[in-house]
Structure 1
Amino acid sequence: MAEPAKAPKADDEVRDCAALRNSFKREPDWYSELCLGHAYGAKAAKGPAAEAEFTVMPKTIGDTTYQFNMRATGTGADSLQSFLLPNANAATIIGPQTGNIYGLEYDPVAQKIWAVNDTLQLGELNKTTGAFTSSVTITGVAAGHNPTGLAFQTAASPFYMSTSDGATSHLYTVVPATGVATLVGDTGLQILIDIAINASGQMYGHDIFSDSIYSISTVDGSATLVGATGVNANFAQGIEFDKTTGVLYAWLYEGSGVNRFASIDLATGAATTLATPLAGEYEGATTPVSLQAFSVD
């Protein structure tokens, strides 16, 4: 008698490479070998932005920047790290934090890293230990949408959160004390992976479906194309303004541990690679240099 056919394993059913060609979530551990044909971290960055020559600057006094690596494997996995701009390749590991953090923003007055995770928990990422503590659950988000970014001009101004379901991306305001989210509007973008606001209150966003930078209206959420980054980005990643200098920085992730830390030309959208962090998948937040305490020998 022939043996009955075995039902596919649940784990096999979700291993869909085509479905993850553009994803707003963290890269699954199996994606590299199954979908790209090589071990995690085995390939170097590719594309026009990687082909241009660049020099990693020596460690200098610059804005302290925090980056969270949401990868579950490799050196510095699932950890909060810090570095002085622009030296993302010389980051110091602060401490472990498991889970998916999909948005970061720094409050220089309270000296606090605000964070939102994949279950819509809004809270603090401790800059001393790396631990995440939720303060509220965000409510009012459209069904099927996951958070992709968090930004504010100052902690006293509105908190903005971007979300996506892989087909549409929304912009919300969020009340940090209650977690109540109010829809600003549909951005018209497919996978708005993160947002950032400069010192003047202008918002920008990175859409990984079109691999382009957009200016975003905080009035109705509408997006206006700035230009392509030149990087084939995929999975969760971040952008952040240095509000001291007005430079927009991006953690650009392609998959399989291939990433780069870059500056973004706000006139063209083009990315210029500044450093290559440890293999990982990063979100980030900067602190104003004027509020740092440092000494010069």
Structure 2
Amino acid sequence: MHALKLVGMILAGLAALPAVAADDGTQDCAAWKNSLKREPAWYSEKCLGHAYGALSPKDAQAAALPKNLGDTTYQFNMRGTGTGADSLQSFVLPNAGTATIIGPQTGNLYGLEYDNVAGRIYAVSDLFGFGELNKTTGVFTSTVTITGTAAGQSVTGLAFQTPSSPYYLSTSDGTDSQIYTFNPTTGVATLVGNTGTPLMIDIAINASGQMYGHDIGTDSIYSINTSTGVATLIGATGVAANFAQGIEFDKSTGVLYAWIYEGGGVNRFATINLTTGAATTVATPLAGEYEGATTPVSLQSFSVD
């Protein structure tokens, strides 16, 4: 067969094939929006149109800063790139923007809580490993694997009132969120109940034993019944949150803090109004996704406007 005739036949055949939509990443971006997991390395550039960390973080609102310094706080950055990547950090409340980098930890941790009696930071990994974060090196060591959670649920948060009170987990599959108690020695988890929200990304308990949660599907704060797991809406944070992040009480002052991550390295450290749910930025940490834990060892008192 003549070569030109053969080429013509091939081209004609290709022209007859159905058109294929351009790979603009739309499907991937939609699938990862409001993800429970760490932001993928490609997400920022492909879905937000800029390289990781290229956007300037939101400016801290200086007028909202507490009048006095609070307790020492730890934050874990699970981002894999940039200054402070994959590191445990510490700062004195509310100065998250001037945190000291302690050391690296290559795993993904989706819940932190501080044991004020033993002076230990506990955490839960994406593999349901429960263990301790070393405050000197930043290394996480799992001591037990949590079992008993529903299939398809990912761990999103860890909270307890005191080291001798019940330990709670929040989990989600992107559609339903659940609250569990679990035994920190055996790892066995027991279902408390469904929250009624889709993406409860973290939970926190105050000194009185009241639980609160942040849902990134509704971008709202909820109070949670620790006997039933049912979440009651308080109000919207006012921030469009995506991917892993945390909330934590300073039990000395009763202030609820939130590490709110918007994507592409843009994040803020904020206080949460427990009457309205609104978030007020008080500091801007290094670009990253953060979970955190406070050490309630002092009795400072301050107000937040």
Output the TM-score relative to the length of structure 1.
0.90
- The answer for the alignment partner of 1:54 in structure 2 is 62
Q: How far is the alpha carbon of 1:20 from its aligned partner?
A: 1.0
1:183 aligns with 2:191: yes
SS state of the match for residue 17, structure 1? helix
Identity of aligned residues (%): 74
- Contact 1:62–1:289 (CA<8 Å) still a contact in 2? no
After TM superposition, list the pairs within 5 Å mapping 1:194-205 onto structure 2. Answer: 194-205=202-213
- Counterparts of residues 201-280 of structure 1 (less than 5 Å): 201-280=209-288
Q: 1:13 to 1:31 in 2, by over 3 A?
A: closer
Q: 1:21 aligns with which of 33, 38, 51?
A: 33
Q: In the alignment, is residue 76 of structure 1 matched against residue 102 of structure 2?
A: no
1:79 and 1:14, CA in 2 relative to 1: closer, same or farther beyond 3 A? farther
Letter in structure 1 aligned against 2:53: G
Q: CA deviation at 1:54?
A: 3.2
Residue 36 (1) aligns with residue 48 (2) = yes
Map of 1:142 onto structure 2:
150
Would the alpha carbon gap of residues 257 and 196 (structure 1) be closer, same or farther in structure 2, given more than 3 Å must change?
same
Distance 1:92 1:60, change over 3 A: farther
Alpha-carbon distance between aligned partners in 2 of 1:133 and 1:59, rounded to the nearest angstrom: 37
Match of 1:101 in 2: 109
Shift of 1:32: 0.4
Asked whether the equivalents of residues 22 and 208 of structure 1 are also in contact (C-alpha less than 8 Å), the reply is yes
Higher gyration radius (CA): 2
Per-residue deviation, 1:13: 9.8
Q: Match of 1:289, SS? A: coil
Once residues 220 and 107 of structure 1 are traced to their aligned partners in structure 2, the CA distance between those partners, rounded to angstroms, is 25
Structure 1 residue matching 2:47: 3-state secondary structure: helix
- How many pairs were matched up? 280
Partner of 1:295: none
Identify if the C-alpha distance between structure 1 residues 56 and 247 changes in structure 2 by more than 3 Å, giving closer, same or farther: closer
Deviation of 1:43 (Å): 1.8
Unaligned runs of 5+ in 2: 1-5, 15-23, 300-305
Deviation readout 1:18-40 (Å, 9 max, x if unpaired): 01111110000000010111111
3-state SS, counterpart of residue 91 of structure 2: strand
C-alpha deviation, 1:42, in angstroms? 1.6
Distance 1:221 1:57, change over 3 A: closer
Partner of 1:282: 290
Counterpart CA distance in 2 for 1:57 and 1:142 is 41
Per-residue CA distance 1:197-240 (angstroms, 9 max, x = gap): 00000000000000000000000100000000000000000000
State the alpha-carbon separation in 2 of the partners of residues 45 and 193 from structure 1.
21
The reply on whether 1:113 has 2:125 as its aligned counterpart is no
Query: Following TM superposition, where does structure 1 have runs of at least 4 consecutive aligned residues deviating by more than 6 angstroms?
Result: 12-15
